[in-house]
Amino acid sequence: MALDREPALEGSREEGRPQGAPPATDRAEEPGGWELVEGDEIAPALTAVKLLGSGERYETYLAWEERMFSFVVVKVVRPDLVGDEHALQGLAGEIELLDRLAHPVLLRSFGAVLDGPRPHVVLEHLEGPRLSTLIRKYGPLEQEQLLPLGLQLSSALHFLATEEVVHLDVKPSNIIMGAPARLIDLSIARTFEQLERVTYPIGTDAYMPPEQCDPVTRGPITSAADVWGTGATLYHAAAGHRPFPE
């Protein structure tokens, strides 16, 4: 997660789905939200600073962690889904992957609570613009930026493949530019074993290979899906537009 004007929400199939921050207001506007404002306690030692984004299952807050004396990002299950087994299982799966996948290019986690009044995971707060923001504001990347980005993403994908995990949502809005660049959002990542049971499209259309769009007739989905997503992302970064028309 990152503090930016395009907070990463949950994975979506919708090509070009808006990922902008919520309107400038002290409180979340979606019905059923926690409506936490600056200074509200999310959990012991975790104080809300501001809402970064909201999806169907989770809300994401910039927060202050007292023990670490640092800003963090907290992904919280929405109040109407605190007792929802599917939402809790999804968060538990993401937490398990975050704990397991320690790599310099991947986002880190700093603990989680699944059985409290506000089930949540605490994530690293990254300073830096999203790749999607850079492309939108300044156009294509320079070669000096593009080459290290490709190498860093390839490093992360190689590691994920050795761990038998597929990210499934490699795209510009899930990359925080820095040294190194960071690949974020494991909310829809799946293990090789889990992918054997996937029968529906999963990901973001503009960066999905055919087998990810139609696993039943074009599958199986493998690590090659992340290679496709990375290729589409690097094309977007090099050309300033998506590789496929809307």
* Each residue's pLDDT tens digit, 105-118: 999 999 999 988 99
Lookup: tokens for 228: 């496709």
The whole-number pLDDT of residue 246 equals: 67
Lookup: tokens for 92: 């538990």
In whole angstroms, give the CA distance from residue 101 to residue 87: 21
The whole-number pLDDT of residue 244 equals: 86
The whole-number pLDDT of residue 55 equals: 83
The whole-number pLDDT of residue 31 equals: 52
pTM above 0.75, yes or no: yes
> CB under 8 Å to 55, separation ≥6 — which residues?
9, 10
The whole-number pLDDT of residue 193 equals: 95
In whole angstroms, give the CA distance from residue 182 to residue 17: 21
* Residue 7 burial (C-beta neighbours within 10 Å; 0-12, 13-18, 19+): buried
In whole angstroms, give the CA distance from residue 31 to residue 33: 6
* Each residue's pLDDT tens digit, 98-152: 999 999 999 999 999 998 899 999 999 998 999 999 999 999 999 999 999 999 9
Counting as low any pLDDT under 70, the low residues of the chain are: 1-31, 246
> CB under 8 Å to 158, separation ≥6 — which residues?
none
